[in-house]
Structure formats: structure tokens, C-alpha cells
Structure 1
Amino acid sequence: MTRPSVAVLRVGAQPGSRELVMIAVERLRARFERVLVVGDAALAEQTGADASQGSDWIRDSEGARELLLADDAWIGPLDDPAAWRAPVDGVAALVDHPESWLLAAGAGVDRLRQGSGADRPPLHPWADLDVLAATAPLLPLEAFAAPALDLDAEGLVMPRVADALSRRGVPRDAVARALAHVALPRDLSTNLGLVEIVTDEAPVATHPPLSIVVIMHVHYVDMLDELLARADHLPGHRLVVTTSDASRGRQLEARLAELGRPGEVRVAASNRGRDISAFLLGCRDLLDDPTIDLVVKLHSKRSPQVGGATGRSFAALLLDNLLPGPGHAARLVALFAADPRLGIAFGPMVHAGYPTTGRAWFTNRPRTQEVADRLGIDTPLDETSPIAPYGSMFIARPAALRPLVAGGLTWEEFPTEGEYRDGSLAHVVERLFVPAALSAGYSFRTVLSSRWAAASHAMLEHKLDDAESSLERRFVRKSRRVPWKLGQVARSVRLRRR
């Protein structure tokens, strides 16, 4: 059987679309003798496809032997299969933009066209995303940018939809990057399933190995050994220890020498901003070094302002989800090795003993938006608690931190010890690591060990149950379903009129 002669890929200029176009071209090449890109000659040259700037070629190409479906501009609204039509016999355009995405031709086409039968109810692009993702030729990617709670109210488990897309050659990270300029990071995280449970099984080798630098800020010298033990879970790496003053610097150098541990000690030019400024400003040369693949940021977190079990639990949350053991650490590095556009990975939001859930912006949001605008970070900021590496420990690609590193931040802008409070630059930057990575074209992961995931889920379920039991909370949850219910009524009326 000969392959169909041509596929047409019509593209726009939406941010993040180019990566998805590249995926589409590769898939179409396997099925067609020729792939034509309409609308972007530069992109066509990048992908090795033919280029056209208009629709004349399409009108002259009725000899193509397979009909491909397109967006509603070509074939009618996605939720009205009876109205679908081809603009010319045998040829239609394929569209790539955040509102729609070609999956594949196949059984899904017939099901959508026959959608009005009693045994085959009509499929709708949002309410039936789980079905569409598995079978249909077209899926509205903008759904992944929708409020996660609205989708949950419809019973959609969006990570399952993302899994179906991944199996069909559209990685979830590519979708995250395509929608980064229009979607809230927390909705992307929830809808795409960007939370990773990392096991601590046998280490997974990466080929070639990644160049890793561990940058740990040690204010409490007696915590150096614990941080070194965590760093030792990583594959081969370079060690840089920053600290707040010369006296501590000498103590750290002496301890490293006593342990026979190679490592560079750097005394920060100022303690304004603590570990954040020591990292972004004091280690800027490392973050600018193109030979470094990953930086691992750790620090001696003790949280004396809260003290006791609360402070200890916060430090354990960070370290036990980032570097609990060698297998976990190797698998975490392997995530970066497998996806060169994964930008940053970090532990989950703290909620034990801290009032973060639902209010983790505190008073930081206005200043965060101001700094984001100044640094050219155009990812929308979360409306409630932002997705962030709370506690400022993470693994990242230096390139994903470029907006923060190259933004011209100075020591003087960071707070002194007495000014270290919400709204200060250190707290703001902590909440900008993920938007910075997305703005730079990288995706992110929240990572948990299996033990922490189980314990955290049980407690969050307990807290949610308590919150939902109040009348006010139940009213808010029910009200979210009103737009969807009205949509159901409207669709039912349209079907009866037919």
C-alpha cells in the first residue's frame, strides 16, 4: 500500500508552538510522501519540510489520497461533529496552536462523525477529554491551562489524559512549555501530572554522565556533615560551599580537610539575602558556565524562628524528597538526562506546622509581579499558593535560571538580617524559580519520595476533609460546577433542535 502523497501543517506564531510542530513533522513524515508547512518558512526550513505562504497550493492539491482533520476554521466546531466538512476534496490543513492539536487519524474520526446515535453519544472536547486523548484526531490543548478544580468538578483526572498524549508522541513537558505563557504553573502541574514519585531502587546510569555542581550554603557549621552525606548520594560532582563570614569559612575549610573531602569554600560578599544571594550572586560564574549541566542547591536549614519539630520537619521535607538515597538521586538525575528541557525539580510545598496551604503568597505577590516584570519573566503568576521550591533547595539546569541570573539583581536589594520578612527580595525570588524556568522555555517537576508521598497524601486528605465539611467550603465547591452545568443544558438544547 502506497503512502498518501501529502500532509499540510498550518502553523501560527504562538509561544511554545515550534516544539510541537517539530513533533508533528516527524510523525507525519512516517505516513506521507511529502510534508508541507504553511505559514512559516523559517520553521519549515528548521524541520526540513516544504514551505508555502498561502492557500493556493492547497486548492491545487486535490489529488492527495487521505483526508486529515483540522481546527474549527477548516471543518467546523469540535463539539459539533455533524458540521464537520473538508474545505476541498482530499486535503485539509493540520493545525498546531494551544487551542488544538493533531493526534492521529483513525477510529476516533468515525466515532466523532457518528456522535449523535443513542449508542454513540456525542463527544465534547472538554467533558470527554479522556476519550478524545486516546482515539481522536484533534484535542484542545488549552484544556491543560484550565483551572484544575473546574476539570476535577467534571470528574476528569487530567494526568491520565496527559499520559494518553505521551503515548501518542506528545510529551507532557512539550505541552507545558507550549502553554507556559498563558497558563498558571499550578494548573499545569496538576493537569499534566508534573509531580513525580521517585523510587530509591538501584541507581540508573546516565550516558553520557551529566556535569553536576553541588552548591551548599552553610551558616550552621555543625550541619556540614549532614549536607555532605546527602550530596554523596549524587553521582560524581564538584562541591562548592558558600558561607556568611570569614570565620565560618575557615571552620568549613578545616572540616573539609579533616574529612579529606575536595571542595571550594566561598565567603559571600554580604549576608544580605543569605543562601539565595550567595547562590545567584556569589556563584554567578558557575551559573554562567556552559559546561555545567546541573546545579544542586542545598543549605543548612534550621528555621530557628519556628524551632522544634516544625523546623526539623521542614528541613527533612526538603532533604528527604530531594536526596534521600543514592537510587533516588540517580533517578532524579536521570529525569534531567532523559529530557534536556526539564529545567528544575524540587520537593513539595510544606504544610506540616506551616500555614502555607491556600495562602503561601502571604504578602509577596505584588512585589513578585513587579520583579517578574522587571526581569522579563512572562509566565503568569499563580493566584493562590504558587508552585515553588519552598525552603530554596532544588536541582536545576543553569540555563533555566537565566532570567534570575542575568536580571541585574544586586546585593543591596536583598534584605539585611532585620528585614528578612515577607515581601523582601529573598522571599520573592524563592517564588520566581518556576516562572523563570517556564519563561526561559523549560519545564519543572515536583518530586517526592514514596514514603513522604504516602504520609503527605494522608494528612492532606485529612485536612481537605475537615475543610470541605464546613458549609461555606461546600458552597464554593458547588458553585464551581454552575458554568459546567449550564454548558450541559445548552448542549442538550442544541441536540434536541437537530
Structure 2
Amino acid sequence: MPDFLPREPRKGEAWGVDRSSALSEISVHTPGRYIVELSPTDRRMPFLRVNVRRPGHADRIVYVPVTRRTSYLLRSSEGGLVLQFDGSDIAAASIRPLRIGDVGTVLRRRRRQKGFELPLGQGIVLRPLLHIAGPEGRDLTHSLKSLAAWGFGVASTNLQKTLSRHFEGPSIRPPEHLPIAEPKIVVALHLHYPDLWPEFEALLEAIGRPFHLILTLTRPDAALAQRVHARFRNAEVIVYDNRGRDVGPFIQLLREGRLDPFDLICKLHGKKSDLSGPRMILGEVWRQASVFDLVGSRAVVDRIIAEFGRSRDTEMIGSRRFRLPNEWKSEDAAWGKNKAMILNLLETMGVATDCPLDFFAGTMFWVRRDALEPLKQLDLSLASFPSETGQQDGTLQHALERILGMICTKISGTAWDDENAA
């Protein structure tokens, strides 16, 4: 009998999995410690949506890390707990009381795994036991550590709210349209990975106000160009050599004067850290969190443009989650291997070299076109950037990533889930 089908609990056992509807449920009838096993259906993002139901409390949604088969230690100080899943997300699920024979497994690498714990309520904790999930579990462990180093720990608001937006989509609440002037806007989107276009297409459609789209690619793609023009008739689709990641094409657009007719520029790109493995998850979360914070809805865009209207000193607005330095990335880490090059470029531009390091990692932001004027002093073009060899630091594009924030009079962080969001 498959282990996710319901049966009568044995003496001393409190468990149940209900698959009689579109939902699957695991029930805990008495307080205690349990081993939960989950096998999800295929998914790109290794997280699972769980609705936590407790008597006398409002339901709570959490997102838990998961491999093809993951064991968890569940500690519950109360009975009546129900973990509810979408039936289409679960291939198999089971729960049983912790046994003496489990203690060694649970205690092994306890300190490392404790960092991945998810509090489900007062006295209720779910701990993924990824160290027993084989190579896939080890890869996921590395990924979660990378995320935590950027402030996206498993239980953090940053990660939980980003995953909420990823799984649930934007709020259906209509935005409160603010009485603001209409600046001329251009969205400069670079896609080295054309398969990401549907993700950006949906977000750009939701902006709901006039803008011009410039899409830069690293190889010709007639089918993609046709799809882009079908939705954004006046869009420009330009193919550049693969130099400078997303920064090189942006500098070339600036050099060619294509950004000059606009007041505000929204710079986006299809960031991926890797096609698979631990860095892939970091890239997915990084891209989605940044993009949600910048063009996640009409309300998000209205708030950003209103901020530019209120404060003429504000020249750049980006995701507050990736504004560096911060509590997770020290100033030394934020400089990386780029300090000497940055100081040289600032001096060439005539910008004070003692200006503070303050920038948005990942080079996604809104910026006033006028704020970019100092870059013209550098006389850079796409050819100024090195050929792509997978460099992770110390190149011209990494230096400019930091300089773009440093040349602005004032930069401001924002997020789609800020409390003052419309």
C-alpha cells in the first residue's frame, strides 16, 4: 500500500494523510516529536507550500525546502496540528512518531541543520534533515547557505515573502492610482536566457502605464522578437555581443543615445547564477525578489515613480534586499576585488573618491537618466568589457555595478511588500 494513503493509526501513533480532495493533509493528534517524509511532484524551485492549521489560530502559509524525498523532524507542543498541501504538489507523504533508532540520524549534523528550522507556531518547529537526502540534499544545503548569506535564510521574511509571490502571484487588490505626473519611462531589459521572457512579459504587462521597451539579447531570436513585438509593438530588440553581462549592453545603449529621450530608466535583466545546482536557486530567488520589488505590480511602479516625484535628490531606487553593504554583507565583502578599479574610474569621472560605497547588487534598479551623465566621461562601449569566461568578480562590469549607485546623489531601497505599499 502506498505510504501516503490513510490508515488507522497504531497505538501511540498520531498521523494521517488525507488525499480525498485536491488537498493533502498530515494530522498530528497529540504533542510529541515526529518524522515527516514528503515526496513532491517535479518542480524547479525546491520549496513546497504548506498551510499550517492550529486550533484557535489563523491559518499560516510557510514554504519549506524539499528534495525528491525529504525527511523532517517535527516537534509539536500541541495536538490538533494539521499540515495541508495542494494535492498536485505531493506524490507521497507520511508521518510517524520519533523512534529510538532515529536519534542518531536526527542528532547528526544537528548544529548545521538547525539553521534551516522553520517555526510553525509557538512550540512547533519543522527541521529539514537534508543531510540524509543524498547528493540532492547536500546541493540544497549549499544553496540554502548561499541564500542565508544574502539575508534569505529559510525562515526569513525575505525568502518567505519572495516565495509567496513566486507561488501565489501578485495581489488581486486593485492599486490605488496616485495623482502623479507621467515621466517618460524606458525599460532596458537584457536577456541572455530568452526562456525567461514569459516571466518578464507578464510583469511588464502589469505595469499599466506608458513605457518604451528596449530588449537586448546576445544572439538573434526571430521567434522571440516576433512575440515581443506582438505584445509591445514599438519595442526595440537589439542583439549585442556577449560582453559585460547585463552591464555592457546597458553602457552601449547609453553610449548610442538610446536612453536619452527618457526621464526614468528601469534596468532589469534575466539573472541566473547557474543552470542547475546550488547557485541556480540563489539566482532564481535573487532575480525574482529584485524584479518583484521593482515592477511587481502597478502599485509598486506607482510608488517608485511617486518617490522620484517627491524627492529630486533621489536618483536611484532599487530592491532594499540587495542594497549593499548591509547586515549580511560587510563593506569589505561588498567591495570585493574591485576597489582599486572603482577608485580609478571615479577619479576619471571627476567624482569624489571618498563617496560611500552604496549600491544595488545585481544591477537592477530605477534611475534618472540625468544621473548617468558622469559615465560619459569614461567613454566606454561594449568593446571595453572582457569576453565572457564566467568571471565572478574583479571585472569592469563588477566595478560599474558599484559605481552606478555611488555616482547618484541619493539612492533609496524599496520592496513590493513594504508596509506602506498601496
Q: What range is the shorter-chain TM-score in?
A: 0.5 to 0.7
- C-alpha contact 1:322 1:394 (8 A) present in aligned 2: yes
1:322 equivalent among 294, 301, 306: 294
Give the match's secondary structure for 1:363: coil
Give the match's secondary structure for 2:340: helix
Give the match's secondary structure for 1:360: helix
Q: How does 1:95-134 map to 2 (within 5 A)?
A: none
Counterpart code for 1:224: W
Shift of 1:390: 0.9
In structure 2, the partner of 1:303 is 273
In structure 1, the partner of 2:413 is 446
Give the match's secondary structure for 1:274: coil
In structure 2, the partner of 1:465 is none
Deviations 1:377-417 (A, max 9, x none): 215244xxx32121111101111111124421133331211
1:400 equivalent among 371, 374, 397: 371
In structure 2, the partner of 1:369 is 343
Aligned residues: 243
Counterpart code for 1:444: I
In structure 1, the partner of 2:119 is none
Counterpart code for 1:244: T
Call closer, same or farther: CA 1:264–1:411 in 2, change over 3 Å. closer
- Structure 1 alignment gaps of length 5 or more: 1-198, 455-498
Q: How does 1:95-494 map to 2 (within 5 A)?
A: 202-234=175-207, 235-245=209-219, 247-248=220-221, 250-259=222-231, 261-268=233-240, 270-286=241-257, 289=260, 291-304=261-274, 307-350=279-322, 357-358=329-330, 359-378=333-352, 380-382=354-356, 386-418=357-389, 420-438=391-409, 443-450=410-417
Question: Structure 2 CA distance, aligned partners of 1:320 and 1:379?
Answer: 33
Question: Structure 1 CA distance, aligned partners of 2:385 and 2:378?
Answer: 14
Question: Structure 1 CA distance, aligned partners of 2:376 and 2:316?
Answer: 15
Give the match's secondary structure for 2:246: helix
Counterpart code for 2:319: G
Give the match's secondary structure for 1:208: coil
Question: Structure 1 CA distance, aligned partners of 2:328 and 2:244?
Answer: 21
Counterpart code for 1:331: R
Deviations 1:474-495 (A, max 9, x none): xxxxxxxxxxxxxxxxxxxxxx
Call closer, same or farther: CA 1:275–1:449 in 2, change over 3 Å. same
Give the match's secondary structure for 2:296: coil
In structure 1, the partner of 2:160 is none
In structure 2, the partner of 1:486 is none
Shift of 1:355: 11
Counterpart code for 1:344: M
Deviations 1:203-230 (A, max 9, x none): 4345431110111011111111211222
Question: Structure 2 CA distance, aligned partners of 1:239 and 1:411?
Answer: 20
Select the structure that is richer in helix.
1
User: TM-score scaled to structure 2, two decimals?
Assistant: 0.52
Select the structure that is richer in strand.
2
- C-alpha contact 2:374 2:407 (8 A) present in aligned 1: yes
Deviations 1:338-393 (A, max 9, x none): 23332110112549xx99611122211121111111222215244xxx32121111
Give the aligned CA root-mean-square deviation in angstroms. 2.9
Question: Structure 2 CA distance, aligned partners of 1:357 and 1:451?
Answer: 21
- C-alpha contact 1:349 1:388 (8 A) present in aligned 2: no
**Percent of aligned pairs sharing the same letter:** 25
Greater C-alpha radius of gyration: 1
Shift of 1:253: 1.0
- C-alpha contact 1:321 1:449 (8 A) present in aligned 2: yes
Deviations 1:150-199 (A, max 9, x none): xxxxxxxxxxxxxxxxxxxxxxxxxxxxxxxxxxxxxxxxxxxxxxxxx9
Question: Structure 1 CA distance, aligned partners of 2:341 and 2:390?
Answer: 15
Shift of 1:259: 4.0
- C-alpha contact 1:363 1:422 (8 A) present in aligned 2: yes
Shift of 1:451: 5.9
User: TM-score scaled to structure 1, two decimals?
Assistant: 0.45
Question: Structure 1 CA distance, aligned partners of 2:212 and 2:419?
Answer: 28
Question: Structure 2 CA distance, aligned partners of 1:429 and 1:408?
Answer: 13
Deviates more, 1:324-333 or 1:305-314: 305-314
Give the match's secondary structure for 2:359: coil
- C-alpha contact 2:177 2:302 (8 A) present in aligned 1: yes
Counterpart code for 2:341: R
- C-alpha contact 1:349 1:390 (8 A) present in aligned 2: no
- Structure 2 alignment gaps of length 5 or more: 1-170
